[in-house]
Structures are given as C-alpha cells and as structure tokens.
Amino acid sequence: MKNFVVKTIANAAALAVAIWLVKNITLTGDNTGKKALTLVLVALIFGVVNFVVKPVVKFLSFPLFILTLGLITLVINALMLLLTSWLADKLNLSFHVEGFWTAVVGALIISIVSWAMHVVLPDDKD
C-alpha cells in the first residue's frame, strides 16, 4: 500500500511539473482544492494506464524497441499520456493534453521528474 501511495505522489508531482512547464497541457478548476483533487485523480488514472496498458503495448512493440534502440519508449509514454487525457475527459476531469508533440514533451518531463521523485521518496524496499 505504501508503494502505491508513493507512486501516486510521484505521478502527481510529475504531472504538476509538466502542466506547469508545457503550455498545451492544462488542468483547470474553480479553486486550488479542486485542482489538487483533479491532479490526484489524474495521477491515479495515469498509474492505472501505466500498470495495465503500457506492458501490453511494450510487449507488442518489442521489435520496434530493438529497431529504435529503446527510443520508441518515449512515443509509448506519449501515447499513455494521451490515453490518460482521453480517459480524464470521459470522467469529466479537467485535464487535457493538446496534440501528439505536446504529449511527447510532456512524457519526457514526466519521465524525468517521476524518476527523480522515486529516487527521493522511500518505497517498500527500504
């Protein structure tokens, strides 16, 4: 359970940084509390997408992974971010990613910040 909470916090922080840095990734809300709740819910959706869908996509794209020396991972992460945006829209959450290239830049930022958060935050292995 602790690991799940840590990963959700890391995802929320990474998403917040991407929203802050990239103009076309937006999170809107009436007040700060509603934005924070929406950010946590989007982080949960992002975590579920990365847990359920991403392994299947990575398995199916393994030949491309070999061919591109792993660079396809950035495209897969961008597609997972776009899927999260689509699911958030279907759940009436005010999170939106505008376009593929915005998702690529956002995925790169999220990957770097998420890695840094996992280094700093404790997990079950400690």
pLDDT tens-digit series, residues 41-93: 999 999 999 889 988 998 998 999 899 988 899 999 999 999 999 999 999 99
pLDDT at residue 49 in the model: 92
Q: Residue 110's closest CA among 86, 82, 88, 68?
A: 82
Closest by alpha carbon to 103, among 19, 5, 41? 19
Full-model pTM: 0.88
CB 49 within 8 A of CB 80: yes
Structure tokens at 123: 């997990």
Q: In the chain, which ranges are continuous DSSP H helix?
A: 2-21, 32-60, 62-67, 72-90, 100-120
Please give the pLDDT value at position 22: 94
* Residue (of 112, 7, 108) closest to 50 by Cα position: 7
- Residue 81 makes CB contacts below 8 A (sequence gap 6+) with 46, 97, 103, 106, 107, 110
CA 94 to chain centre: 15
Rounded CA-CA distance 20/124 in Å is 30
